[in-house]
Structures are given as structure tokens and as C-alpha cells.
Amino acid sequence: MSRRYEDFDEFCDPDNPKIIKYEDVVDALKRIRKYIPQTPIIASHYQKECGINLFYKLETVMRTGSFKERGALNALELLPRDRQKIGVVVASLGNQAMGICYYGKKLGIPVTVVMPTSVPVIKLQMCSDMGAKVIVQGHNLVDSQKYARALAKEKGLTHINARDYPDVMAGYGTVAIEIMEQVPALDAVLLPVGTGGLAAGVATVIKHVNPNCLVYGVQSERLPTFYKSLEAGEPLTLPYEPSIAEGIAMPYVGVNAFKNAQNLLDKLILVSEDWIARSILHLIEKERIVVEGAGACPLAAVLCSQVPELKSKNVAIILSGGNIDAILLGRCLDRGLAAEGRLIKFKVLVKDLGTEYARFTKLLADNGYNLVRQFQDRIWVENEIYRVEMKAVCETRGLDHALELKRIIEKTYPNECAFETEPFDSDNTCSCYIPTKC
């Protein structure tokens, strides 16, 4: 059976996609304003370096940490009163569920949330703390959605497809109205794209008010579902791949979202996982903002110079959410540091003597390197009995300092060391730093 019929929903029908209008978004803004105040927009500290007048739209300050509140509240407000009393069911990876749970509690609407097993425990707990009934079902979001639809039919609940429901997308579009009020001379908007709901809502508003304003979507190259769908001219489904940008790592595209955004997006950009990690790191170190992987994607496109045409332009970046758990944040920061050459991993053979260990560590200390981690391998060292393989991770001040470390280690331990960090890959490093092979 095709996915089209497995995932059939009267509000998300592949044969009859719903088109949202600018007026729908304006009405949604009036509807949600009594609960959701305008979120701030701030100038980036990075404007001079990148040559773009960057502004960050801080959806991270929402009560539940993401823009998803806008769509959740609008959809709940528009439900008939009798349907509100019975309740709603939603399948979610976290952000949308938290928005629906929060406003469901405020409006007195019973909420059932279905989440896959991969969702962090903290998000399950937050939904439960807001009074929702939480069900863990399925290995991924697609499985959870199937279960949610079946539950809705069985219990008479209203199923809200949190990523493609027309009223939800209209709510998402309200962020664009605010941006255009806050940055009157706006030239472009960059936003993350998963199933496409945010892109559909924002593009609908931007192109209605100012057709010359560019709308760029950004997606991880790890799972480029919307990108491939645009190329094919129809919604596609791809095999799931995990991503740092977990909130937009979607194997499918919303049928309503695709129809609305297809001809309104000016460009869809793919960014690597390393650049997303570097973007998260940049936002914390330089901007003092904590953002999840999905929300950091648009800035990644700027950092890796994929939008040179936006030089000297007024550009708004939607930081869509800040719900990143502490463990994943730590991993992202380490990966960002490694991608920038500020964490260097290498191994070197040294004599198994205390004086040689002292010599090795002194060499690092004298040149300003911090030894973050080390492991001594005495067993799996081929043809070596009196030497040990030192595996080390060092902190540097940047790529130039890292390259200097490589020179020092190779000079001190010729033919007895190997660097594993990406900046030293021959495809990414200047040839003058790569030893010539005989």
C-alpha cells in the first residue's frame, strides 16, 4: 500500500492539498496575540565579518522554546467547542507537542501526545507535566502518526497533523508578519525546512507583502527530503537518517506545505552536519544564544558562504527553536570545535617510559596546547613491544594553531604519528601542510 493511503488525512489529502492565504495568517495573528506577544528580533554581532546585515528572530524565547506554539494555538482556537471538549491527539518529536500541551491546558482541551521511542525523556516529561496523556509508540514519527490517526478514529478525538495542518501553517506564518514590521527594509529571510510548514506560512506572507523579498530554506544534506521533492516536482519519501538538526530530519514532505511553498521559495540550500554544529557553537560563543540544530541551519548557510548574493542586504534568520538537551548540546559543541580545528585528534608512538610521557606532555604545554583526553594503547600496537601508542585530543586556539601542532608532532616523531581530524584531510587542507609521498 502506498504511503499516500497509509497516511491519508482529510486535512492533508495528497489529491486535494489545502492552500493558505495571507488573510488566513492575518486572522491567525489576531487570534493568537492575546496569548503570544511579539518575539524580539536582534542584530547579529557577526554583521561586520560576514558583510550581511543579519537579524535574528528569536522564537527561542517562546514559553515552550519554539515557533511551534503559533500553529498549535491557532489550530486549537479554531476547533469547534464540542471538539475541544472531546480533545485532540497529535504525533510529535517534541516541539509541536509541547506547544499543543501548553495551550491545551490553558484552553481546557484534553491532549493526547504520541511520540516515537527516539524522543528525549525530557520532552516526554515536559508534555506530561503540562497535563497531557503521553504515549510512546513507534520507532519514528511516521509510525507515531499512524498510531495517532488510529487512536483518533477509535476514541473520536481530533487528529492534528502538527506539521501539515492548514491552521497550523497559518499560525506559523504570523512570524513573517512580525519580521516585516520589525525590519521594514527587509531583503531576505532564511529559515529551516523539514516537512515545509514554516516555509509555507512564511513564504505566503512575504511574497504577498513584498514579492521582491527573497525566501531561502535551509536543510541538512543528511536528509534532503524537501530539496529532492522540489527537484522531482512532487512530495517524496526518503529513508530516514539521523541528524544534528533532528527537528527537521523528516523522511517525508507535508502535502499542503509542499503545494504552498513549491513556487514561493526562491532557493533551498543544503548544509553539512559539521556546519550545523559550527553554527550552534557560533551562536553560543559569539551571540550568546542557545539554539537547537534545526534552528541553527539557516546561519550555517551564511557561515559556509552559500549566500554571497546577500552581501550588504538586510537579512532575517529565524532561530526557530532552542530545545536541545544537554547531552546533545555537548556533542554538537565538540563537533563544532573539531570542525573548526580547535579540537585535534591524533596518535603517536612513544617509548613506554615515564620520561617520554613527560617529554610528550611538556611539548604540548610549552606550545600552548591543552591535552583534553588521552589513551595509552600497549596491547594493539603491531610489532611494537617497548613503545606505546598515545591517542590524544588537544585543544587549540584555531586552525593555524592546530596546523602548527601538526608540524611540531611530525618533526618530533617523524613517521610515528597520524592525525585524524578533518581539517588535515587532503581534500580540506592546503597542500603545503600535507607531507609529500615518495
Measured distance CA(195)–CA(130) in Å, rounded: 26
Mean pLDDT for all residues in the chain: 90
Contact 32, 171 (CB under 8 A): yes
pLDDT at 426 over 70: no
Question: What percent of the chain clears pLDDT 70, i.e. is strictly above it?
Answer: 93
pLDDT of residue 432: 39
- Read off the C-alpha cell for 95: 516541539
| Confidence check: pLDDT of 245 > 60 | yes
Please write the tens of the pLDDT for every residue from 369-403. 999 999 988 777 776 778 899 999 999 999 999 99
- The CA R_g of the chain, rounded to the nearest whole Å, is 25
Lowest mean pLDDT among 114-118, 207-211, 384-388: 384-388
Q: Closest Cα partner for 297 from 315, 276, 322?
A: 276
**Farthest CA pair distance, the chain:** 80
Convert the pLDDT of each residue in 139-160 to its tens digit. 888 889 889 989 998 999 999 8
Distance CA 223, CA 216 (A): 17
In the predicted structure, residue 263 carries a pLDDT above the cut 50: yes
Q: Are 349 and 389 in contact (CB under 8 A)?
A: yes
B/e letters for 108-127, b = 16+ CB within 10 Å, e = fewer, are ebbbbbbbbeebbeebbebb
Instruction: Output the pLDDT for position 422.
Output: 60
Answer whether residue 276 shows pLDDT above 90.
yes
Segment 11-38, tens digit of pLDDT: 777 888 999 999 999 999 999 999 999 9
pLDDT at 80 over 70: yes
pLDDT score for 420: 83
Above pLDDT 90, what percent of the chain? 76
Would you say residue 3 has pLDDT above 80? no
What are the backbone dihedrals phi and psi of residue 19, each rounded to the nearest 5 degrees, phi first? -100, 125
The three-class DSSP label of residue 78 is helix
pTM: 0.88
Q: Would the pLDDT of 354 be above 60?
A: yes
Which three three-digit cell numbers place residue 306?
552559500
